[in-house]
């Protein structure tokens, strides 16, 4: 365990704060600091991926469905399992019989304090259309597992950014 100096808030916005500990500046979320990334494959072996335009990158990004635990007012103590179910449905229109924790680790260890939980969703059932949370414009991609490598390569060649968590998801799917 390291003895760290006191944390100082340098700047605080609605969703993030820039802080400093011993001169090391980094970002932390002001609420909902734990994201869940959902690794999901349909019964007919289609990987669920999403894409959306990401303002900080000024580009479209292919990602796994994901969202923050406890980021809604009144849900600060939300269980990660409920957040994973909620985000899966919001972003894909699918529900899962089961979600299991596979891994947890930093998203960007030198820049942010958050740690993402990668979870596998199984027993999927299509319940409706992907809708996002009202602030997102998400496109759902249901890509056959056997074709996902070629599909991702084509997207990359077309200039679409691929979040590396997509490749972690493929690892956990046994690809």
Which residue ranges make up each domain of the chain? 1-30, 33-172
Which tens digits make up the pLDDT trace of 4-46?
889 999 999 998 999 999 999 999 998 877 999 999 999 999 9
Say if residues 122 and 98 touch (Cβ distance below 8 Å).
Answer: yes
One of 3.60.20.10, 3.40.640.10, 3.90.79.10, 3.40.50.450 is the CATH number of 33-172, namely 3.90.79.10
The residue among 153, 151, 148 whose CA lies nearest residue 170 is 148
Which tens digits make up the pLDDT trace of 127-160?
988 876 667 789 999 999 999 999 999 999 999 9
Count helices and strands in the chain by DSSP H and E runs:
3, 11
Burial zone of 99 (CB within 10 Å; 0-12 exposed, 13-18 middle, 19+ buried): buried
Say if residues 45 and 145 touch (Cβ distance below 8 Å).
Answer: yes
């Amino acid at each position: 365990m390291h003895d760290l100096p006191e944390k100082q808030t340098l700047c605080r916005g609605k969703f993030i704060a820039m802080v400093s500990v011993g001169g090391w500046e980094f970002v932390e979320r002001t609420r909902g600091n734990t994201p869940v990334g959902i690794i999901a494959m349909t019964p007919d072996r289609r990987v669920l991926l999403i894409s959306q335009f990401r303002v900080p990158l000024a580009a479209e990004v292919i990602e796994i469905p994901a969202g923050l635990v406890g980021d809604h007012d009144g849900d600060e103590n939300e269980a990660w399992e409920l957040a994973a179910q909620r985000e899966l449905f919001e972003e894909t229109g699918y529900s899962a019989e089961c979600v299991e924790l596979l891994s947890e680790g930093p998203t960007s260890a030198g820049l942010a304090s958050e740690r993402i939980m990668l979870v596998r969703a199984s027993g999927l059932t299509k319940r409706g259309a992907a809708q996002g949370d009202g602030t997102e414009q998400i496109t759902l991609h249901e890509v056959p597992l056997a074709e996902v490598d070629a599909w991702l390569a084509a997207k990359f060649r077309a200039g679409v950014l691929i979040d590396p968590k997509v490749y972690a998801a493929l690892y956990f799917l046994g690809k």
